[in-house]
Structure 1
Amino acid sequence: MRLSLRQLQIFLAVCDQGSTAAAANVVALSQSATSAALNELEHLLSTQLFDRVGKRLILNDNGRLLLPQARQLIDDAVNIERQFSGENVSLAIQLRLAASTTIGIYHLPQLLAGFSELTVQANPRVFIANTSEVATAVANFTADLGFIEGPCQQPELIVEPWIKDELIIVCAPSHAVRLNKNATTNRTQDSEQLSLSTLSTSAWLMREAGSGTRAAVEHALLPHLHNLNCAAELSNSEAIKHAAAAGLGLACLSRVLVTDMLALGSLVELHTALPPLQRHFYLIYRKHKIMSSRLAHFMQFCRDWHLS
């Protein structure tokens, strides 16, 4: 067998760094030696793994096919070395996590703080993105475990229901849907339920396609409203809540995300004819992934964890 782990290690370094010059610093080789090793790997596989754009190396379809297999092989090799080196494997392996935005910002810090009280922490690396990007990271072995807010259809992933999240409808205190236009005092109608027809004709602030929050909102609202008039599409839930506070539209967001602005009075919760809105958060991981004892311990901690 001519394929070597060192070649795959160099390939992964180039993937992560984007050039042989930057990858050379990671793998402790000269740039020429790094380039030669990459060229040898491409020659051995009879295919180019990167598109060359100036000095940048951009992973192509062939490289994307190799990437998850290379990561798995390198991870397995590292685990074997640690297993026979006398190290405590449960403490030595760094957690590589990916989380969609609401979980990554509002839940994961609390989760990791609780886990750190039980075990020596190994500086987890956390990638925060939307649901589809988190699923891709886990599928490509870039992350060991993912936390997502919406459905995932990738067949190579195992999806476990995790915790439930409450969704609420919010808007600015001065938004038109709160004003009783028949009252000369412009008195707000907080005690009254907004009708489904009012909600269906209102302007909504939405996340981008591929976001778990977008999918959850559409799943929760469309069966009742049949249509959502999108006033703006924003790629960040924090941006949505501030846009709602500015009066740009209604928003359906996780309660934990807007608690601060509800307390300040920058946003108000709307009482509607909708039923209570909930969604599931999910744990995802790669099929056939070899679990270290530390990762297995962390996953069980996640399954047992409850919001406080």
Structure 2
Amino acid sequence: MHLTLRQLQIFLAVAQTGSTTAAAALVALSQSATSAALNELESQLALRLFDRVGKKLILNDSGRVLLPQARQLLDAAAHIEQQFQVSDPLSAAGLRIGASTTIGSYLLPAIFAAAFSRAARAYPRVTIANTAQIVTAISNVEVDLGLLEGPTDDPDLVLLPWIDDELVIVAAPDHPILSGDTGSTIAIDALQAAGWLLRESGSGTRETVDQALRPHLPGLRSVGEFGNSEAVKHGAAEGLGLACLSRCVVSDLIGLGRLVELRTALPVLRRQFYLAHSRHKILSPRLRHFLTFCQGWVR
């Protein structure tokens, strides 16, 4: 048996797209060459990897077993190439970073500016999504390192506590809950009765808000869910509802007077950010350097 990395690359492309025609575009081959390579792989393994449903190719149980192994082998091969192409551990070439939305939007640019030389003209490729999506990407070795806004119980991940983040409750200055007095302490029953703008399910911020507020506000009333914190922030500034967001997200509009931080009887709301990578991940010198830098970074 002589399996090749090219065969595994084609297998992954077919698994991702569901057809040899679409996969051919990803791997820069003709459809016939892609189909032939997949047939050869299945012949060498003496089993089918996909169920043929009309024109759609769907992974079967054998294909699902091969999928994570193929990803790991191709990931290892890519790191071997990178290791010998660039010897500078300070280079960001080839790194793939995944970040939860708040971290990716508000902290990662400053981290990159401090970690990498601006003369290098090469920064990591970044995927920004909600925490649940980044956890999946780390587990599938689609990103090398994840910066998460909440913990995960995924057994395939190495989870490293990182930095603390403070969440604050904000509203527009003319929101009725303030009654014209931006310095007053807001009662729990007033918070209970108010409408709230929330992040979508799967977001690290949403999970933290649920865990922190619902014990005190069991009937937390959502008047809108948004896929990113910017939309929540600006919605709150327009008076659409209250919001509970990271201080780093709302500090600009608080400074401009478009949002007010509410004083409440609730305890201080804090959460832990995490660094995470797959247990199967090969940590290259570049990745180790960036991981160490992040661990020592202070905002």
Pairwise same-fold verdict (TM > 0.5) = yes
> Shift in Å at residue 245 of structure 1?
1.8
Quick check: 257-266 or 11-20, which moved more?
11-20
Alpha-carbon distance between aligned partners in 1 of 2:160 and 2:152, rounded to the nearest angstrom: 10
| % identity of equivalent residues | 54
After superposition, where does 1:61-76 map in structure 2 within 5 Å? 63-76=63-76
Alpha-carbon distance between aligned partners in 2 of 1:170 and 1:107, rounded to the nearest angstrom: 20
Alpha-carbon distance between aligned partners in 2 of 1:254 and 1:53, rounded to the nearest angstrom: 48
2:272 maps to 280
> Shift in Å at residue 223 of structure 1?
2.7
> Shift in Å at residue 213 of structure 1?
0.4
Residue 210 of structure 1 aligns with an amino acid whose one-letter code is G
Deviations 1:89-125 (A, max 9, x none): 7348511111111001111111111111299464311
> What TM-score does the superposition give when structure 2 sets the normalisation length?
0.88
Residues 305 and 216 (structure 1), Cα distance of their counterparts in 2 relative to 1, 3 Å cut: same
- Aligned with 1:225: secondary structure? coil
1:98 maps to 98
> What TM-score does the superposition give when structure 1 sets the normalisation length?
0.86
After superposition, where does 1:179-258 map in structure 2 within 5 Å? 179=179, 188-258=180-250
Residues 93 and 58 (structure 1), Cα distance of their counterparts in 2 relative to 1, 3 Å cut: farther
Residues 15 and 110 (structure 1), Cα distance of their counterparts in 2 relative to 1, 3 Å cut: farther
Contact 1:95 1:122 survives alignment (8 Å): no
2:49 maps to 48
> Shift in Å at residue 270 of structure 1?
0.9
> Shift in Å at residue 277 of structure 1?
1.4
Contact 1:50 1:63 survives alignment (8 Å): no
Deviations 1:229-250 (A, max 9, x none): 1122222211111221222211
Alpha-carbon distance between aligned partners in 2 of 1:225 and 1:295, rounded to the nearest angstrom: 42
Alpha-carbon distance between aligned partners in 2 of 1:284 and 1:19, rounded to the nearest angstrom: 32
1:182 maps to none
Structure 2 residues not aligned, in runs of 5+: none
> Shift in Å at residue 70 of structure 1?
1.3
Residue 283 of structure 1 aligns with an amino acid whose one-letter code is L
Structure 1 residues not aligned, in runs of 5+: 180-187
Residue 111 of structure 1 aligns with an amino acid whose one-letter code is I
Residues 48 and 86 (structure 1), Cα distance of their counterparts in 2 relative to 1, 3 Å cut: closer
Residue 41 of structure 2 aligns with an amino acid whose one-letter code is L
User: How many residues end up aligned between the 2 structures?
Assistant: 297
Contact 1:68 1:139 survives alignment (8 Å): no
Residue 88 of structure 1 aligns with an amino acid whose one-letter code is S
Quick check: 207-216 or 7-16, which moved more?
7-16
